[in-house]
Amino acid sequence: MSEFRTLNTTDWGYNSAATRNRVMRNTYWLLALSLLPTVLGAWLGVATGITASLTGGLGLVVFMAGAFGFMFAIEKTKNSAAGVPVLLGFTFFMGLMLSRMIAMVLGFKNGSELIMTAFAGTAGVFFVMASLASTIKRDLSGMSKWLMVGALAIMIGGIINVFVGSSVGMMVISVMAIGIFSAYMLYDLKQIVDGGETNYISATLALYLDIFNVFQSLLALLGIMGGERD
């Protein structure tokens, strides 16, 4: 944050606080907006069944290629006017990819209830982590390497389970993902609060991925454990 350094420490504090508040405000607005394309993509996927054939290795390749392609594009455009549309395109794609799981859950008699429970649970996790991020004074930057190791372990486990197809494996991965990405949510929010992240598009992307993974994992867990068939 060297651009805010000045001989007047009071002015520096004001500018730093103003910047953090602006980044936080813009991030929350863009995060809320990003949920709309996600819902649209999920609805379109369920209504058309366009992702129904994306099973096994094919689904994995499409998801990985699309997700990493979009994230690369977001990183390249985050400081330009194209950053927001690219991010919203990414969230639409993620909603589309989520639609296959949502369609499976909606096949249960209590499918709608499970989706709402997963949504409420995710919102609750976000509220708790946002509250903690605003009250914890300790620097959490040291968490990053451990969280990265955990995320990589989940990704590798998830790839293996795509081919194994184990319900127990999915449950274990889902529980791990909820824990890891809830902690990531706290870390990413604290980065914004402390001024470690000053680009609201990057901040939104990080939080969106946290929320998406927590919601998807909760939904998978609820579907396995609480799905009621007709």
CA–CA separation, 28 and 34 (whole Å): 10
Q: What is the mean pLDDT of the chain?
A: 86
First-to-last CA distance in the chain? 58
- What's this model's pTM, rounded to 2 decimal places? 0.88
pLDDT of residue 13: 42
- CB burial readout 184-222, b (16+ within 10 A) else e: bbbbbbbbbbbebbbebbbbbbbbbbbbbbbbbbbbbbb
Average pLDDT over residues 104-112: 89
Does residue 4 surpass a pLDDT of 60?
Answer: no
Amino acid at site 224: I
Contact 83, 77 (CB under 8 A): yes
pLDDT of residue 81: 87
Give tens-digit pLDDT for 113-153: 999 999 999 999 999 999 998 898 887 878 888 899 999 99
Percent of the chain with pLDDT over 70: 92
